């Protein structure tokens, strides 16, 4: 029995076998390894996207908190940027005292990122109530001021003489400013 296969069929069979081998080799050598790598990278990408989303949410929450704090503390931040002027201080708070004098700054020191001006004051008041009103006024002033203890009170006739020192805090960029 003789099998009669034409030359065209043999060429077609050889081309089909070659294509089949090519497709199998391509699949096993290129597609399957690349598919594994693709799945690994897709998993890694999903993890990174989840992490990015967490960081983005944290950023948004922190940014909202920052904006809220900036709006709530606008006057305090403006007070840190305001340079201290002893004459303006005397004019603003003279109404609480019979006389108020602010002596020159003793030293200019640094505490963290802020410059600290130490100022000694002496005043005469008619009652301690005026002094407490002065302290409330200082809290609402244009500067960040800390009143240092001890505060000395001496009675002289109808008036009370007081002596105390204050620290005025301002941003370090105000160091070159003259008083």
Cis peptide before 150 (omega within 30 of 0): yes
Residue 108 reports pLDDT greater than 60: no
Residue 76 reports pLDDT greater than 70: yes
Contact assessment for residue 86 and residue 143, using Cβ atoms and an 8 Å cutoff: no
- Same-domain pairing of 89 and 27: no
42, 72, 102 — which closes off a domain? 72
- Same-domain pairing of 106 and 170: yes
Least reliable range by pLDDT among 13-22, 62-71, 79-88, 120-129? 120-129
- Same-domain pairing of 108 and 67: no
- Look at residue 122 and tell me if it is in a domain: yes
Residue 39 reports pLDDT greater than 60: yes
Q: In angstroms, rounded to a whole number, what is the distance separating the alpha carbons of residues 29 and 24? A: 8
Q: What angle do CA 149, 88, 179 make, to 5 degrees?
A: 80
Q: In angstroms, rounded to a whole number, what is the distance separating the alpha carbons of residues 83 and 169? A: 9
**Which is more confidently placed, 78 or 126?**
78
151-155, long-range: CB within 8 Å, 24+ apart, which pairs?
153/128
Contact assessment for residue 147 and residue 164, using Cβ atoms and an 8 Å cutoff: yes
Q: In angstroms, rounded to a whole number, what is the distance separating the alpha carbons of residues 61 and 93? A: 41
- Same-domain pairing of 119 and 47: no
pLDDT tens column, 138-148: 777 777 777 77
Residue 178 reports pLDDT greater than 70: no
24, 47, 72 — which closes off a domain? 72
- Look at residue 179 and tell me if it is in a domain: no
- Same-domain pairing of 25 and 50: yes
pLDDT category at 179 given cuts 50, 70, 90 is very low
Which CATH number covers residue 133? 3.30.70.60
Average pLDDT over residues 153-173: 72
pLDDT, residue 167, reads 74
10, 38, 72 — which closes off a domain? 72
Residues 34, 35, 38, 43: is their CA dihedral positive or negative?
negative
Containing domain of residue 16, as a range? 1-72
- Same-domain pairing of 50 and 105: no
- Look at residue 78 and tell me if it is in a domain: no
- Same-domain pairing of 17 and 62: yes
Number of domains in the chain: 2
Helices (H), 27-127: 32-72, 74-81, 86-93
Asked whether the whole model's pTM tops 0.75, one would answer: no
In the chain, the percentage of residues whose pLDDT exceeds 90 is 26
pLDDT category at 115 given cuts 50, 70, 90 is low
- Same-domain pairing of 64 and 94: no
């Amino acid at each position: 029995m003789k099998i009669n296969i034409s030359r065209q069929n043999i060429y077609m069979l050889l081309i089909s076998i070659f294509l089949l081998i090519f497709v199998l080799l391509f699949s096993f050598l290129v597609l399957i390894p690349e598919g594994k790598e693709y799945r690994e990278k897709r998993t890694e990408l999903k993890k990174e996207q989840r992490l990015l989303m967490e960081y983005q949410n944290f950023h948004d929450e922190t940014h909202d908190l920052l904006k809220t704090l900036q709006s709530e503390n606008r006057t305090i931040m403006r007070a840190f940027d305001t340079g201290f002027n002893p004459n303006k201080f005397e004019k603003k708070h003279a109404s609480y005292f019979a006389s108020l004098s602010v002596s020159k700054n003793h030293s200019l020191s640094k505490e963290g990122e802020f410059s600290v001006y130490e100022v000694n004051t002496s005043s005469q008041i008619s009652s301690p109530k005026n002094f407490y009103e002065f302290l409330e006024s200082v809290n609402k002033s244009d500067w960040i001021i800390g009143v240092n203890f001890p505060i000395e009170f001496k009675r002289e006739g109808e008036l009370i003489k007081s002596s105390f020192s204050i620290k005025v805090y301002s941003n370090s960029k105000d160091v070159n400013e003259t008083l």
